[in-house]
Amino acid sequence: MNRELLLMWRSLFVAALALLPATATAQAAKPAAAQSAKPETAQAAKAGTTQAAKPETAQTVKPETAQAAKAENAATPDLARAQQIAQQVCTACHGADGNSPQAANPSIAGQGADYISRQLANYKSGVRVNAIMQAMAAPLALEEMVALGHYFARQKPRMVGAGDAQLARAGQTLFRGGNSAGVPACAACHAPNGGGIPKNYPRLAGQHADYTYAQLKAFKAGERGADKDGKDVQGRIMADITQKMSDADMKATADYAAGLR
């Protein structure tokens, strides 16, 4: 009996010993597995996050980058390119430096940069109609129009002077104070010195009287400022004003403006 009990306990003890290394190994392996798994899990999570983030980054950054690049281009006009266009294309009618040698064509030296670029855009879109200028503006990119505006705005205008003293005095009265027919003072929009308000209202000081007179007649005849969609807001204002101007009023105003500095 005792011998049988002794054998039984011995068997249990041996079995217990056999189990101990396996348990220890399992316990030791568990932290190791946990430790080795963590970096892999972190890497997998990181990869997943990166992959998930890539489409969002592509969707949000690219438009912003494009807008920033566009704004940068607008803020830094390519004056070298503008000068090249001016010398190759614009010089025939407006002079290389924007001072037109012909009274029928406008001098644009010193004209507001925004005004010039907007007029070019209006020619290209058909808002303003002139066969020659529409053909010249058609191939221009927006950045080139902006650059041309800045280029000519930086050129020094040459004054042409009034041609008739008596006519200029009549024009001075109209330019500064308007008249009883309802014509407002030109100085209200074009400034007392004729320098204009950039973008919306052009510089008239030193402009060829023949050109200014021709434009006033075009406004009155509905040949300018009468686009069907009404996009030329300032042109429409001028079209309304010129309806109240006589031919003598237009000639006097043009002559006085030519002598302004």
CATH number for position 144: 1.10.760.10
pLDDT for res 74: 58
Residues 171 and 247 in one domain: yes
pLDDT for res 153: 98
DSSP 8-state secondary structure symbol assigned to residue 160: -
Instruction: Give the Cα separation of 187 and 176 in Å (integer).
Output: 6
Could you say which of 131, 156, 181 is where a domain stops? 156
Residues 186 and 145 in one domain: no
pLDDT for res 55: 43
**pTM as predicted:** 0.72
Could you say which of 156, 181, 209 is where a domain stops? 156
pLDDT for res 32: 39
Q: Tell me, yes or no, whether 6 lies in a domain.
A: no
Q: Tell me, yes or no, whether 34 lies in a domain.
A: no
What is the residue range of 134's domain?
A: 72-156
Residues 163 and 257 in one domain: yes
Cα–Cα distances (Å) from 124 to 25, 119, 184, 200, in that order, read 83, 9, 31, 18
Cα–Cα distances (Å) from 100 to 80, 106, 152, 245, in that order, read 21, 6, 12, 27
Q: Tell me, yes or no, whether 93 lies in a domain.
A: yes
Where the chain has pLDDT below 70, the residues are 1-74
pLDDT for res 112: 97
Of 238, 86, 261, 16, the C-alpha closest to 161 is 261
Could you say which of 111, 130, 156 is where a domain stops? 156
Count up the domains in the chain and report the number: 2
pLDDT for res 64: 53
